[in-house]
Structure 1
Amino acid sequence: MLEQQILERVWVSAAENCSDIEHAAAYKALFEHLGLDKNVQMTHMRPLAWGPVTQVYVDLYVTSIIDVNEKDQSFSTQVKMISAWATENMDWDEDKFCGIMTIAALKDRFWTPDIGIVESIKTEFGTNDCPYVQLISYGLTVTSDVLTLTTACKMNLYRFPFDIQSCNLTLVSSAHSVNEIVMDSVYGSEWLTHESKETFQTQGEWELFSIDMTSSNLTFIWGVKNQLIYQITIKRRPLLYLVNFMLPIFFFVVLDVTSFFIDISGSDKLSFKVTLLLSISVMLLILNDTLPSTADKIPLIGVYCSVIFSLIGISILETILVNFIMARGPEKISVENTAAVTDRDDSVSGQQNPPDSVRDQNGEQSCTLELLKQILNECRAATQNPREKTSLFGDYIDFLYEMAHNFPVELIKLSSV
């Protein structure tokens, strides 16, 4: 940053000393000095200005996250890739050309590094491919491309929707080995993360968390190539899934618990629980369309929905069992009461209507009693004559009379025994 400020200060001071005509003449002179006026390609081979190995500086900025497809395991982004390398005989003294520090030239006249992205499924230019490169006074050639990338990204959805995903963009030369091209970054990971967040254009479901850059060598059958790996870490905003999935399912559990207070005699309790179970089923279908079927582990939100689905299913079975027990209980009690009443009626009718042998025996006893009563009455009438009655004989007759009257009661007691 300090170097850039010094260069801008020098360029401004040199430009202030030149008029518009002088500046135009200096621009034409610089164009001719670099040989850009000739309709020929400057070189066909890679530049060797700084040694046998060409040093290419690449910076990758993420400007927006277009789409994250969990089912296809793909990651779509718009990035700005800036590449710079040294070119021979492409430097000049700014003071001799009115402080001109940069100049644009046609890209097809210069060598450009063949840098590709390993994980790329589809690559498009965000705008038309810029046909120019930028030449800097101290011998650097810079290209700036805006790309729309769709890359493969292996995602771990176990903590969905509170997940953090990391997707790699691996830059590698398709034709040059590590002995020919070595790639590096001008700025570090912190600068790339800060600038990407400053220029981020979308505020959707995903939030840019960080960009980490590492450089390594990759061994192929035909040699070793240098690669530059940008690890883009993104974090999901879970508010939408909290409102649409987790809170409604939690309310279903609350409603299922409160349904225990519904009167068991009513039929609305079972239908209410079945409605809750169907609602959870719809939630699971929507969740199945969102999550990939190739996940290694079942996401926690899937476990959450399945557990609640099982609990509501068990609650429905419990309600059916309780209704069955409540319905079978009164039927058994009514059958027992009916049998007891029938036995009691039979016993009462048996007492009121004794058997024929008992009735015959009681009839003979009643006839004998009547005969004894007549004999005693005649004896008592005969003793009413005072001339023939004596006190002892009268008392004896009275005793027999009382015994005759009490004899039926004692006889009934003996017969009952």
Structure 2
Amino acid sequence: MEGSWFHRKRFPLYLVLSLLLQGRGVTFTINCSGFGRHGADPTALNSVFERRAFRPVTNVSVPTRVNISFTMSAILDVDEQLHLLLSFLWLEMVWDNPFISWNPEECEGITKMSMAAKNLWLPDIFIIEFMDVDKTPKDLTAYVSNEGRIRYKKPMKVASICDLDIFYFPFDAQNCTLTFSSFLYTVDNMLLGMEKEVWEITDTSRDILQAHGEWELLGINKATAKMSVGANLYDQITFYVAIRRRPSLYVINLLVPSGFLLAIDALSFYLPVESGNRVPFKITLLLGYNVFLLMMNDLLPTSGTPLISVYFALCLSLMVLSLLETVFITHLLHLATTQPPPLPRWLHSLLLSCTSPGRCCPTAPQKGNEGLGLTPTHLPGAKEPEVSAGQKPGPVEAEPTGGSEQTRAQWEHGAQRQQSVELWVQFSHVMDTLLFRLYLLFMASSNLTVISLWNT
């Protein structure tokens, strides 16, 4: 009773060992008597198909070496929000099955054949960064040589996690990793190797990717390291995939229109501020820039703060500042033509120093409004000084030769008011020129800073 119970418990172990050790001491040569014009005889490989659940080795202590390589045929998408790289790979795995062997001379000269992969033992190679369900098609085939070398290729749509840096968008380059490892077999049972050199993988992938797509492949490097999980040690190969975005789409649709709108805003300073057309023009331009940003928002990353968003915010700020400057100058001119207050002495001295020749200050009218081509009577709301009946209008500097004291007082008051208007108008134009040059300086420095950051 005890002996029979012992044999019943040990029977599955004996069955496994008999399958693994079946054929020890023999050549494992497949009988080719069924081979002919119609291909191989399926019954000739039954002994191999029966072992597909077990790792194909004649000695369980010897690890199976699996050589891998891949071809990146497409970069489908890069999700900046989820930090995912969606790519399409052709994975190739090569290993030896010692239980498969035949003599080509006895088998109609056949050196290799294809058979259903489901009838063979397949290594469980997976990508550690994989973040989706494996959708590899079923019922794939594998090529088997007469020496027992199995070559298995499968297409993979890989959604792998990648640490993306979008600060330099759209001139960004990313470095993603693809780590191949076994899920079940440790280094005692499986070792990984390279079927192709890294430069071959890179050249093949670059030749396929170079003709289309938003991303271009810069290069592929590899590193081999062991992964420790608890007390188990797994072999793995890590590939570093460097890709770079092609920025032409974003330069044409985002940067060039934004640069044109900013240049038009700078040129609008040449519109005469006293005409009253500069403020409506700048408001229309600012509204158009906001509509442009809303329309192009879909092209920008939805997460993080890329440098291009800072650039757009800077352009918008410059337009708002130019509008505020125009409002300020318009207010000064309105003040000069209605009730101009006396110009402070320090401001008058500063105005004289700025308008004197040889100063590194904005150009201002040299005398009165001659340099402006504008007289206070042409400004909105300006009125000529009142003169008494019978008095000839003449130069402001000439004193009347006759008239009452009241007429003299009116003349002096009008002369003082006209002089105050001239000073305020002159000051307004000097401030307009000064702020315009500061605007250009700030715009040039900020744009050069952004461009230098993109170049790095």
Specify if TM > 0.5. yes
Quick check: 1:24 aligned with 2:36? yes
Quick check: 1:168 aligned with 2:177? yes
Check the 8 A contact 1:130/1:145 in 2, yes or no: no
Name the CA distance, whole Å, in 1 between partners of 2:53 and 2:277: 84
Name the CA distance, whole Å, in 2 between partners of 1:197 and 1:90: 36
Quick check: 1:153 aligned with 2:162? yes
Name the CA distance, whole Å, in 2 between partners of 1:345 and 1:176: 118
2:233 to 216, 221, 224: 224
The alpha-carbon deviation at position 81 of structure 1 amounts to 0.5
Q: Where does structure 1 lack aligned partners over 5 or more consecutive residues?
A: 1-20, 351-417
Quick check: 1:94 aligned with 2:104? yes
Matches within 5 A, 1:322-333: 322-333=329-340
Check the 8 A contact 2:216/2:244 in 1, yes or no: yes
Aligned to 1:36: 45
The alpha-carbon deviation at position 101 of structure 1 amounts to 1.8
What amino acid is the match of 1:281? N
Greater gyration radius: 1
SS of aligned partner of 2:325: helix
Check the 8 A contact 1:190/1:211 in 2, yes or no: yes
Aligned to 1:7: none
1:54 to 59, 64, 74: 64
1:281 to 290, 299, 308: 290
Name the CA distance, whole Å, in 2 between partners of 1:46 and 1:37: 16
Name the CA distance, whole Å, in 1 between partners of 2:54 and 2:74: 35
What amino acid is the match of 2:253? N
1:254 to 253, 256, 263: 263
Quick check: 1:188 aligned with 2:197? yes
Query: How many percent of aligned residue pairs carry the same amino acid?
Result: 24
SS of aligned partner of 1:176: coil
Aligned to 1:206: 215
1:313 to 302, 320, 330: 320
Name the CA distance, whole Å, in 2 between partners of 1:60 and 1:136: 21
The alpha-carbon deviation at position 95 of structure 1 amounts to 3.2
Check the 8 A contact 2:177/2:239 in 1, yes or no: yes
Matches within 5 A, 1:284-295: 284-285=293-294, 289-295=298-304
Check the 8 A contact 2:80/2:302 in 1, yes or no: no
Quick check: 1:138 aligned with 2:138? no
The alpha-carbon deviation at position 169 of structure 1 amounts to 1.7
Which one has the bigger helix percentage?
1
Name the CA distance, whole Å, in 2 between partners of 1:349 and 1:270: 41
Which one has the bigger strand percentage?
1
Aligned to 1:265: 274
Check the 8 A contact 1:193/1:211 in 2, yes or no: yes
Runs of 4+ in 1 over 6 A off after TM superposition: 334-341
Name the CA distance, whole Å, in 2 between partners of 1:299 and 1:271: 32
Q: Where does structure 2 lack aligned partners over 5 or more consecutive residues?
A: 1-32, 341-380, 389-401, 409-456
Aligned to 1:404: none
SS of aligned partner of 2:255: helix
Name the CA distance, whole Å, in 2 between partners of 1:71 and 1:88: 48
Alignment RMSD (CA, Å): 3.3
What amino acid is the match of 1:89? F
2:224 to 215, 231, 253: 215
Name the CA distance, whole Å, in 2 between partners of 1:283 and 1:166: 32
* TM-score for both structures, normalised by structure 1: 0.69
Question: Against the structure 1 CA distance between its residues 292 and 219, is the aligned structure 2 distance closer, same or farther, given a 3 Å change threshold?
Answer: farther
Question: Against the structure 1 CA distance between its residues 61 and 245, is the aligned structure 2 distance closer, same or farther, given a 3 Å change threshold?
Answer: same
Name the CA distance, whole Å, in 1 between partners of 2:257 and 2:228: 52
Question: Against the structure 1 CA distance between its residues 288 and 220, is the aligned structure 2 distance closer, same or farther, given a 3 Å change threshold?
Answer: farther
Check the 8 A contact 2:387/2:407 in 1, yes or no: no
2:88 to 78, 89, 94: 78
Name the CA distance, whole Å, in 2 between partners of 1:263 and 1:336: 20
What is the number of residues matched between the two proteins?
Answer: 323
Deviations 1:50-88 (A, max 9, x none): 861111111111111222222222211111001111112
Deviations 1:160-216 (A, max 9, x none): 111111222221211111222111211111100112233449612112222223221
SS of aligned partner of 1:28: coil
The alpha-carbon deviation at position 256 of structure 1 amounts to 1.0
* TM-score for both structures, normalised by structure 2: 0.63
The alpha-carbon deviation at position 44 of structure 1 amounts to 2.7
Question: Against the structure 1 CA distance between its residues 292 and 243, is the aligned structure 2 distance closer, same or farther, given a 3 Å change threshold?
Answer: closer
Quick check: 1:113 aligned with 2:123? yes
Check the 8 A contact 1:125/1:146 in 2, yes or no: no
